């Protein structure tokens, strides 16, 4: 049976984005079409569109792994902290309007802000390639994604803790100790606060957090007393976070 193929205009309508956005995603290797030859028309498989629509985490993972990154489409990209704060405020307003989040929306917004601000604070003036962060969310599926192509937790914290040797060690320190990579400061509480909200505070709306930096992955949920840190099957510089609620 022939699989359904969408023209670029049909794919844009299916995803609710512009044709120019699909062209940018093609250039950035975020969503690749089928092309008979260079310069020929773009066509998209329906199952590829559905996967992309259903899982924004796929988009974020591709972006942190691509070798020659380009800036993302504006609807997912925050080039600076001011842009991020503006979109974070919008997220907070949208979360507040969800009935069962009346007592939890501020906590969800605050930990999203801590993770995003952490990316900007610790890479200020030293982004390896692309400045800024990916910030996307799907409130129907209750997912918030943040990603950056920054230095990563290990390289950042080695400025104030040079004995740190692995991504796993650095990830544990960042979520358990008051420490900052903004040399020569020796303070900071952002990710420790995120852990407290997810594991201790927000019992009204149980949260889960996936947080990766380098090759180390933290999986955290409400009620966890210890950190569950493991090795990922893919490696990148920067950070990737998924908040589910």
> Can you tell me which residue has the tokens 């501020």?
106
CA atoms of 210 and 115, how far apart (whole Å): 12
CATH topology of domain 5-54: Multidrug-efflux Transporter Regulator; Chain: A; Domain 2 (1.10.1660)
CA atoms of 153 and 160, how far apart (whole Å): 12
Q: What is the pTM of this model?
A: 0.79
- Ramachandran region, residue 231 (left: φ > 0; alpha: ψ -120 to 50; beta: rest): beta
Q: Phi/psi at 137 (nearest 5 deg)?
A: -155, 155
Please choose, from the candidates 67, 56, 34, 107, the residue with its C-alpha nearest in 3D space to the C-alpha of residue 240. Answer: 56
Res 57 pLDDT > 50? yes
CATH topology of domain 74-244: Heat Shock Protein 90 (3.30.565)
- Residue 90's CB is within 10 A of a number of other CB atoms, namely 11
For 110-137, the pLDDT digits (tens) are: 999 999 999 999 998 899 999 999 999 9
Res 67 pLDDT > 70? yes
CA atoms of 113 and 89, how far apart (whole Å): 9
| Pairing mode of beta strands 133-138, 239-244 | unpaired
Please tell me the predicted confidence (pLDDT) of residue 95. 96
Please tell me the predicted confidence (pLDDT) of residue 146. 97
Residue predicted with more confidence, 25 or 104: 104
For 150-165, the pLDDT digits (tens) are: 999 999 999 899 999 9
Cα dihedral 236, 83, 81, 99 in deg (nearest 10): -80
The crossing angle, in degrees rounded to 10, of helices 105-122 and 81-96 is 170
For 78-90, the pLDDT digits (tens) are: 999 999 999 999 9
User: Where are the domains positioned within the chain?
Assistant: 5-54, 74-244
């Amino acid at each position: 049976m022939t699989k359904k193929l969408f023209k670029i205009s049909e794919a844009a309508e299916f995803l609710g984005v512009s044709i120019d956005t699909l062209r940018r995603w093609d250039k950035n290797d975020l969503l690749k079409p089928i092309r008979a030859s260079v310069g020929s028309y773009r066509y998209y498989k329906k199952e590829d569109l559905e996967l992309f629509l259903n899982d924004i985490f796929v988009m974020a993972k591709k972006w942190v792994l691509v070798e020659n990154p380009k800036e993302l489409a504006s609807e997912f990209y925050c080039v600076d902290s001011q842009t991020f704060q503006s979109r974070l405020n919008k997220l907070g307003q949208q979360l507040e309007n969800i009935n069962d989040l009346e007592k939890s929306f501020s906590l969800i917004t605050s930990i999203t802000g801590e993770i995003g601000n952490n990316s900007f604070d610790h890479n200020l003036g030293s982004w390896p390639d692309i400045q800024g962060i990916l910030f996307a969310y799907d409130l129907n599926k209750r997912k918030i994604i943040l990603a950056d192509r920054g230095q990563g937790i290990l390289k950042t914290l080695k400025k104030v803790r040079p004995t740190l040797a692995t991504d796993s060690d650095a990830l544990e320190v960042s979520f358990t100790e008051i420490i900052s990579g903004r040399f020569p400061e020796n303070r900071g509480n952002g990710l420790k606060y995120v852990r407290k909200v997810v594991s201790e505070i927000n019992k009204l709306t149980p949260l889960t957090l996936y947080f990766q930096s380098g090759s180390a992955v933290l999986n955290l949920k409400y009620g966890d007393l210890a950190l569950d840190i493991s090795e990922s099957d893919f490696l990148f510089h920067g950070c990737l976070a998924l908040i589910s609620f």
